[in-house]
Amino acid sequence: MVWIRLCLSCAAFLSAAGGISYGLVKLSEKIWKSQNPALVLALYKLALALYWVPVSFVWICAKRISYENRVIAYKGEFVCSTVPPMTAAFRLLGILWLAGFVISIACFVVKQCRLSALRRGNVPVEQPRYLAVFEECRRQFGLGTVVLCQNDLLSSPITAGLFRQQVILPFEAYTDAELRMIYEHELTHIQNRDLLWRMFALVTSWVHWFNPVIYLQQGELDCLQEMVCDLSIAVQNEQYTKKEYAAFLLKLTEPETVSACTTALIQNKSQTLRRIQNMAKTKEVRKPKKFVVGLSCAGLAALALIPATAVSAKAAKLQEDWIRAEEVDTIEEPQDFSDPLVEEHRFDDGSVEEIDGSQEIDPYSTKVDLDKTIDANTRYIYQYRSKAAGDIIKVYAYCEDSSVTYRIGIKNKNTSNMSSISGTGMLYHEFKISENGTYTAFVENNNNFPIKVIGATMY
């Protein structure tokens, strides 16, 4: 089935664009030593978005679609054709992709069940000091309803919930400064919609589970979000210093409840050390200007999509070569045909009646089958297709009455110039296009009686 191959090809092309963009961002970090996590985070978000924007796939399909004779015609087998071996191969690949997709979702559901079980142990915070500091921070960030809870199963503060956010504290004693560190960090996550981006990255990893790069991107996205939160609140803060904030991070233990629907002050030791080192190097936080972010994203998209489209075009060409090779093998090799080197060239002088058979032909295939009784002194033409110089049109025909002489050939719509061969029985010829134009294949009966012809044409 063609749609399975097209869907899997589209997923592969998108995965190539996303993976290349991730590589380009990592390369730029090493070359320019970017010290602005906010700008790098924006580029990583764009890299994730490229996993969903089918530019390469649309471009490849658009080049193979034309509008001729008031109908849509496809000029490449990639869009509309398949062969049995290819169908079997892509059906197997489709089953494997679906299995990986279902397993990825199942793993997420298991984690969410654990998180839901943990959240059932939430209780409202009762300490007035905890609540007062929280309300002050919430008003400072201009956020609406955010619930503050405590849970005795936690070892580190987390924020959970995509739409009804909860800041959940363990039952620990915190100073006012530490409470501010926790609240400001988690409220910054909420303000930046970090959980939504993590969920977006997770869904992307379900679709592209076969691409190992996507898992690296997920980890990098999480780490950069934490860095942006750290720098936003710890640099030049009047309530606490960077050293105090870093020391508080080191005090926390690694939580086991971190998932795409939670954020935590600490996820692992290597990430924490990276965050502390980044804070130590940063003396002043500067938000990147919008035009800088826009230009950077535009440049990244162009640099990623150009090679991704080139790779995708090559993959589409390989599929077409496979289809053509199989289609050629399915045509019975003719045993009795006129010398294929002898071509006649002439103009359409109107001596025979011309019948347009394009309405009887499937416009979405490059292979056209023929099973037709052609009237006396009649030329039966196939559908016109745009062809470039050097292209080949293959015509095969067979007439059971071996005493009948008939003709096969091609015709240029604009110049009415025709190339043809004639003979009896089985005829086969490859007609090479000499100039760009719109061409059709034909079978011509020059006899005074009808003849029955079967065959095929490959544009």
Q: E strand or H helix at 291, and its extent?
A: helix 290-330
CATH number of the domain encompassing residue 365: 2.60.120.380
**Can you tell me the mean pLDDT for 422-451?**
90
Amino acid at 249: L
**Can you tell me the mean pLDDT for 255-275?**
67
Q: Is the pLDDT of residue 348 over 80?
A: yes
List C-alpha distances in Å: 447 to 374, 377, 399, 400, 442.
10, 6, 13, 15, 16
Write out pLDDT tens, residues 91-132: 999 999 999 999 999 999 998 898 888 888 899 998 999 999
Calpha distance 443→452 (Å, rounded): 11
Range of the domain at 37: 2-82+289-326
Entry pTM: 0.71
Q: Alpha helices, DSSP H only, in 50-83?
A: 55-62, 77-80
Burial of residue 442, with CB atoms counted within 10 A of its CB: 0-12 exposed, 13-18 middle, 19 or more buried: buried
Residues 276 and 159 in one domain: yes
Looking at the 3D structure of the chain, how many domains does it have?
A: 3
Write out pLDDT tens, residues 356-379: 887 765 555 567 778 889 999 999
Write out pLDDT tens, residues 199-221: 999 999 999 999 999 999 999 99
| pLDDT (0 to 100) of residue 329 | 53
**Residues 6 or more apart from 364 whose CB is under 8 A from it?**
72, 73, 74, 79, 80
Residues 276 and 293 in one domain: no
Q: Is 433 contained in some domain?
A: yes
Residues 227 and 304 in one domain: no
Residues 269 and 354 in one domain: no
In the chain, the percentage of residues whose pLDDT exceeds 90 is: 40
